[in-house]
Chain A
Amino acid sequence: MTDSLRTCPLGVEIEICKVDLTLRNRFRLNELGFRAHERMRVIQKAGFGGRVVAHGSERIALDGATAKRILVEVR
């Protein structure tokens, strides 16, 4: 079932399905590791829907609007 990075549960492994942003912003997120089939975990909820994602040993903070546009699948 497809979820968004903002609504998926914390701490579970997810797989990126789609980054639904403009080409420019999508590519930058791709460069930062948000690419189709990449696996990561949402580990922290922050204010205004923001999320912190664990990608290996990296920690990436995303604002709520962007987190909502990243579609994921819980593994």
Chain B
Amino acid sequence: MIREPLETLESGDASMLSPQSDLAGANDTNDASEVSVDTIHNDNKAALGDDNSGCACCAKPDSHADCDDHAAHADHTDHMSHMGMEHAEHSEHSGGHHHRRGLAVLLPSQHHHMGHEAPSGNPRIVFMGNPNVGKSTLFNAVLGANATVMNAPGTTVLVESGALRHGEATWDFIDTPGTASLDAISPDEQVSSEAAMARNGYPQPNVIVAVMDATSPSKSLYLLSQLIDLGRPLVVAVSMLDLAKRQGSTLEIDDFAALVPGVPFIQVDGRTGKGKTELLDAIDRQLSAAQAIQTTQTLAQPVPPQPAQLQPIPPVTTAAIPGREATQDEVSAWAQQTSDERFAWIAGKVTELNRKQPAVDKPTFSDKLDRLLLHPIAGIVIFLAAMYAVFEATTTLAGPLIDWFDVTFRQWLTDGIDWVFTLVAGKEALAGWFHGLIVDGLLDGFVTVLTFIPPMGIMFIILSLLEDSGYLARAAFVMDKAMRAIGLDGRAFLPLVVGFGCNLPALASTRTLPDSRQRLLTGLLIPFTSCSARLSVYIVLAYAFFGRYAGLAIFLMYVASIVIILAVGLALRKTQFRDLHTQPFAMGLPPYQMPKVLQLGKSVALRLWAFITGASSIIITMIVIVWLLSAMPISAGAAGNNTFGHVDEVENSLYGAVASGVAPVFEPAGFNDWHASAALITGFVAKEVVVGSMAQSYAIHDSGNESEQQQGTGTLGQAVRASFERSSGGHASAAAAAFMIFVLAYTPCLATIAEIRRQYSGKIALQSVGMGLVVAYILAIAVFQIGRLL
């Protein structure tokens, strides 16, 4: 089995109008090996009759009007034009799939989307299942590194997809968000519903893989009954069967298979990869069966007797299935209209299962653990302790590793670069602008990316542990009430806590939120959590301006951070997120499981790689731009020998000119001073360098041995006090408080912006930056204007 990333196959995408164009496109654009792949795709497509040749599931050729059982297919007659639309859409989208590097990342880009894009012509395998059934774990076990996360069209709903070569064919896999029903109540569920029902421009799935939790079969049976009615080829992956057995169940995979004769049921364990091969074989059989039936129909031969798994599965309900143009309201009406039949079907199936196993009434291991972890008081205490541990791990534990990358590894690389420069161009090359660009621009950007690996890696390990063990679902429940005030899930507490350590892993942890709107709201609030990098700025200014009240001033910054989060959260809830309804909290709790080390390691490595490849280009590019600005002289300088790459003072560089140009904007906030605005511009790149930038702008030598407190009470503190005294008209403390609140509220760092862009979109990243600047500016003015009156 050879795996191939989806992107490598996209040259064949623009070929959905006809099989001929498919082949032509392949010959025009692909090398020989890829041509053979596309030819196979074409064969598959024609043979499967997926979209315009016939109804594979009921074995009736061409006309779905004759297909009594599958009313949903009645709209296939307009499918050719529909595919044309997808083709046109793809033409627009295709540019967005090329990897953008360097300066290109700063240009407007089409965010990665899936679903509405033209299908590649490969069979489309759609994973469906309830939340917390192990669907995504299974998906990742099947796809591995080939899985990429992207947004569903026009939404911030995250959907994983990827291509996999199986034998001679390549299949496209889509993992949809967990849903209890095709009757969606959230944007995430709507994406799942549309992907399964091929509505709203989604292509028809060739096979639906329904993931079923063996520990809660009745919950899974409801969704399964709806999927059966869709009439698409189906494979059921049964997860957690081993866990059900440990809880006392005596059911085997055959007992589940007997529930729906004709549908293959495969026992799987995404954590170990068990059942992966069998699952792929079952998908292959379903595809081949559909192909065989279609071939027979096309050749007008009499249908030979079919084995059980090739025969159409009788639908659970008899009502007409909403077509591809159906609205969500029509799907809701269908779900409600058929619910009694469906509930009766489930009751029958559960009775069937119960006949085969004794009733298990005794408390399970998970029940016993939940007595403690969900206890009204102990549960909250344990949760807060767990959050504290996460916070400590992503800050204290990551600290030495960050320092190692930032100091030791940076020195190794610098020494190596110096050695190469000396070897190639002699010692004088070390003083040249090109060496500066490489060391202070590119290398600095590269090392900055590396310094984020420890906190991100630790965060990903913790997230995997929390998710895989089943505790994260409990955390959502424990903190549900507290987070409802701002319309968030209890799980949003985790990212917000982690944000006080570092915003970057906090953003990464929003992926655990199942609702895309909540995920977006949390992502917009995280930059207002006061990360540890901002602390260095608070300390210097607090000791410089507030003396013995410095501790109180720093503490108030953290209080201010919480107040801003609540205020902005409530404001967003009343405006952009008015649609965020507070729905009843009703969630299936998965049994506790021991995470598998190998799977965990793989998952962490994949997530880290996605972060590095997704965020590094913008971080490095911006750092190089800042270097270029500071390397360009705008005046000859005191000695009259400023040249590109050799500027004596920051204020004589283009960077200093920009800072001077920006400074008057801060007049109402009391810090119309180019040193302050230069520090804020540098702080946009990273808050860690704000103090260093200030020292540099005042031409104060930073020995690196002074603590922030010493810097605040020393020469740097005096210089800043003198500047703020001038700029504020004698209200330096008020101006310092305004500056601190501005540092708290505006954009935390470039890496955060890159991560927001990676997770949501460029538009959302811009919104985050804009919102941070506006909030920071308004608060800074308010603090200064009130402060000067005191």
Contacts and interface: CB of A to CB of B under 8 A. Distances in A.
Interface of A: 21, 24-25, 27-35, 43-48, 50, 52, 54-66, 69
Contacts of B217: 56-57
24 contacts: A25-B583, A28-B583, A28-B584, A28-B586, A30-B343, A32-B588, A34-B586, A44-B374, A46-B374, A46-B379, A47-B376, A48-B480, A54-B367, A56-B216, A57-B215, A57-B249, A58-B216, A59-B366, A60-B586, A61-B585, A61-B588, A61-B589, A64-B481, A66-B584
A47 B586 contact: no
A43 B480 CA distance: 19
B185 A28 contact: yes
Given A32-B219, A46-B478, A58-B219, A52 B360 contact: no
Nearest to B378: A47
Given A50-B480, A52-B589, A59 B367 contact: yes
Nearest to A50: B477
Contact of B375 (A46, A61, A64): A46
A25 B181 CA distance: 13
A57 B584 contact: no
Contacts of A24: 185
Interface in B176-209: 180-181, 183, 185
Given A28-B583, A47-B481, A62-B586, 15 more contacts: A24-B185, A27-B335, A27-B339, A46-B374, A46-B477, A47-B377, A47-B380, A47-B478, A50-B585, A56-B350, A57-B244, A59-B367, A61-B374, A61-B588, A63-B585
A65 B584 contact: yes
Interface in B439-473: 473
Interface string B583-619: 1111111010000000000000000000000000000
- Interface of chain A: mostly helix, strand, loop or mixed: mixed
Contacts of B480: 48, 50, 63
B356 to A, nearest CB: 13
A44 B588 contact: no
A60 B477 contact: no
Contacts of B585: 50, 61-63, 66
A59 B589 contact: yes
B370 interface: yes
A10 to B, nearest CB: 10
B438 to A, nearest CB: 55
B413 to A, nearest CB: 50
Nearest to B375: A46
Contact of A44 (B185, B216, B371): B371
A57 B473 CA distance: 17
Given A59-B588, A61-B589, A43 B363 contact: yes
Interface string B280-311: 00000000000000000000000000000000
A23 to B, nearest CB: 8
A62 to B, nearest CB: 5
Contacts of B110: none
A58 B249 CA distance: 12
B256 to A, nearest CB: 13
Interface residues of B, number: 45
B336 interface: yes
Nearest to A19: B584
A35 to B, nearest CB: 6
B414 to A, nearest CB: 53
Interface string B220-253: 0010000000000000000000001001010000
Contacts of B474: 61
A56 B218 contact: yes
A63 B481 contact: yes
Contacts of B473: 61
A58 B343 contact: no
Contacts of B481: 47-48, 50, 63-64
Given A30-B339, A31-B181, A52-B589, A45 B376 contact: yes
Contact of A60 (B360, B374, B376, B589): B589
A69 B218 CA distance: 23
Contact of B218 (A33, A47, A62, A63): A33
B756 to A, nearest CB: 30
Contacts of B591: 59
By Cβ-Cβ distance, the 5 closest A-B pairs, closest first, are A58-B216, A63-B585, A66-B584, A48-B481, A59-B589
Contacts of A45: 375-376
A35 B343 contact: yes
A33 B354 CA distance: 16
A31 B583 CA distance: 15
A61 B477 contact: yes
B218 A55 contact: yes
Interface in B343-363: 343, 350, 354, 360, 363
Contacts of B219: 32-33, 58
B489 to A, nearest CB: 11
B339 A61 contact: no
Nearest to B248: A57
Contacts of B379: 46-47
A29 B586 contact: yes
B367 A58 contact: no
